[in-house]
Amino acid sequence: MRTATIKRKTNETDISVEIDLDGAGKADVETGIGFFDHMLDQLARHSLIDITVRAAGDLHIDQHHTVEDVGIALGQAIRDALGDRRGISRYADVHLPMDEALTRCAIDVSGRPFLVWNVTFSRDTIGAFDTELFLEFFRAFAQNAGVTLHIETLYGTNNHHIAESCFKALARALRAAAAIDPRQEGRLPSTKGRLGD
């Protein structure tokens, strides 16, 4: 079973995450941030990863700690559920259209964390959500999941569509890269014989 549970508690946040990589895309998410919950719902639904998140953070200050720490915990859960990564496809990419917006995501589930983020928003907020926090989430996620992640919005004008296309693109790319390839026959997808360095 490719599942994991992460609990993370600091002076700023108290977070628990449960995932099942081979789920049905069920989301049970409560972060106290409506738009962020909506994006995590999209991530679960389109990756077919079951995701449960409970997050209590210092929202009286701002949303930063909660969003970043959910990214950390979710990334750690993905990393743990992948285990030694034997038999996975490892690489995937997708172009995700959402109305006028088009986002490209490429991922390498290599154990080596890196993020390239070429996404621009024309507004500081979407509803009450601070758009600069998208970078913080994806950076924390990539770093802690141990994935190389490239996300670029090629064009788009609606900020909601741009943000949602990023989460859906990650979902579809992660779904493909984490899938078990029967032709791998349980081998590590690397000529080195190891992943992560």
CATH number of the CATH domain containing 25: 3.30.230.40
pLDDT(193) > 70: no
- Residue 74's alpha-carbon distances to 55, 102, 156, in angstroms, are 11, 25, 27
Rounded to whole angstroms, how far apart are CA atoms 16 and 5? 7
pLDDT(43) > 90: yes
pLDDT number for residue 194: 67
Higher pLDDT pick, 14 / 197: 14
What average pLDDT score do residues 107-127 get? Answer: 96
What average pLDDT score do residues 5-20 get? Answer: 97
Q: Which domain holds residue 147?
A: 3-184
What average pLDDT score do residues 127-144 get? Answer: 97
Higher pLDDT pick, 64 / 187: 64
Asked whether residue 33 is assigned to any structural domain, the reply reads yes
Confidence grade of residue 13 (pLDDT, cut at 50, 70, 90): very high
pLDDT number for residue 195: 66
Asked whether residue 194 is assigned to any structural domain, the reply reads no
pLDDT(191) > 60: no
Asked whether residue 189 is assigned to any structural domain, the reply reads no
Rounded to whole angstroms, how far apart are CA atoms 66 and 185? 39
Asked whether residue 195 is assigned to any structural domain, the reply reads no
152 φ, ψ (degrees, to nearest 5): -145, 125
Asked whether residue 9 is assigned to any structural domain, the reply reads yes
- Give me the number of domains the chain comprises: 1
Asked whether residue 118 is assigned to any structural domain, the reply reads yes
Mean of all residue pLDDT scores within the chain:
95
Taking alpha carbons only, the member of 24, 129, 158, 116 closest to residue 70 is 129
Rounded to whole angstroms, how far apart are CA atoms 94 and 195? 23
pLDDT(49) > 60: yes
Asked whether residue 176 is assigned to any structural domain, the reply reads yes
Alpha helix locations (H) across the chain? 34-47, 64-82, 133-145, 159-178
Q: Are 31 and 39 in contact (CB under 8 A)?
A: no
pLDDT(154) > 90: yes
Asked whether residue 192 is assigned to any structural domain, the reply reads no
